[in-house]
Chains A and B, each alone.
Chain A
């Protein structure tokens, strides 16, 4: 099975990458952009077939490795 996870900065955490993207992409003809927040998309392939176990294990992985809870939030996008 595969799990897909998004790691995003918390709303109050500055994101210089997002800010630079706004500046440069707006200059490329996309002036309607108000803001960009750049996070990480992580795809994890797992051996287990139990969706509940996978979701629990993914949450543990995120808490331990993929995200730092001081600055980042995690969203499990899908498990299938």
Chain B
């Protein structure tokens, strides 16, 4: 399996993701600059976390004007497996490849904590390898408040496009508006065809050698179809 990771200026999540995915031993990992026109050969494409272009204008807003964006859109349109983590999720939203947009945390604080998420739709190429109902994952964001209009939110619910939700220790979803005053408790979504996934928490930071929590390893293996 060939796995490509796009690197933007400010994408400090590239190295943790590259190390975590390489350690899984399921494929060859390459890092591609956003200032090129080709992603090379790949089966799975990651947009990493961090703060591309320092979150200027809005998170992901300047990244969408990168030279590589046409190839990312082509990958999504041709139903390749595409995964955006943290800022990568925000970039996919700004590119209109996933719905919604992110606002600054209502608390004005950087959220850097482990949080529990439940798997909302286990019947997708990304989630069918997940063996547990809930996972503990690190969250690290200034702009975590996922904003959808109510019509789109309803559509995501009806179409099974919600991938992950913030939940309590029993796996029950935290009601909208109650998780750090975020507008919704959605932690990850799919595109309509469920071949592109965006999630705000960071599975690459919950892997052996980085954390005692290895939930992220199982999650990455499932995302890659290698569980």
Q: Does B101 lie within 8 Å of A70, measured CB to CB?
A: yes
Q: Does A14 lie within 8 Å of B57, measured CB to CB?
A: no
Q: Does A68 lie within 8 Å of B106, measured CB to CB?
A: no
Task: Please name all residues of chain B whose beta carbon is closer than 8 Å to the beta carbon of A17 when the two chains form the complex.
Answer: 104, 108
Task: Please name all residues of chain A whose beta carbon is closer than 8 Å to the beta carbon of B107 when the two chains form the complex.
Answer: 16
Q: Does A65 lie within 8 Å of B57, measured CB to CB?
A: yes
Which DSSP category, helix, strand, loop or mixed, fits chain B's interface?
loop
Which DSSP category, helix, strand, loop or mixed, fits chain A's interface?
mixed
Determine the distance from Cα of A20 to Cα of B107 in the docked complex, in whole angstroms. 10
Nearest A residue (CB) for B106: A16
Q: Does B149 lie within 8 Å of A40, measured CB to CB?
A: no
Determine the distance from Cα of A65 to Cα of B106 in the docked complex, in whole angstroms. 24
Q: Is B218 an interface residue (CB 8 A)?
A: no
Size class of the A contact interface (CB-based, 8 Å): 10 to 19
Q: Does B108 lie within 8 Å of A20, measured CB to CB?
A: yes
Determine the distance from Cα of A70 to Cα of B108 in the docked complex, in whole angstroms. 21
Contact with A along B36-65 (1 / 0, CB 8 A): 000000000000000000000110011001
Task: Please name all residues of chain B whose beta carbon is closer than 8 Å to the beta carbon of A68 when the two chains form the complex.
Answer: 58, 61, 94, 101
Write 21 A-B pairs (CB below 8 A) sorted by A numbering: A14-B106, A14-B145, A16-B104, A16-B105, A16-B106, A16-B107, A16-B108, A17-B108, A40-B57, A65-B57, A65-B61, A65-B65, A66-B57, A68-B61, A68-B101, A70-B100, A70-B101, A70-B148, A70-B149, A71-B101, A71-B147
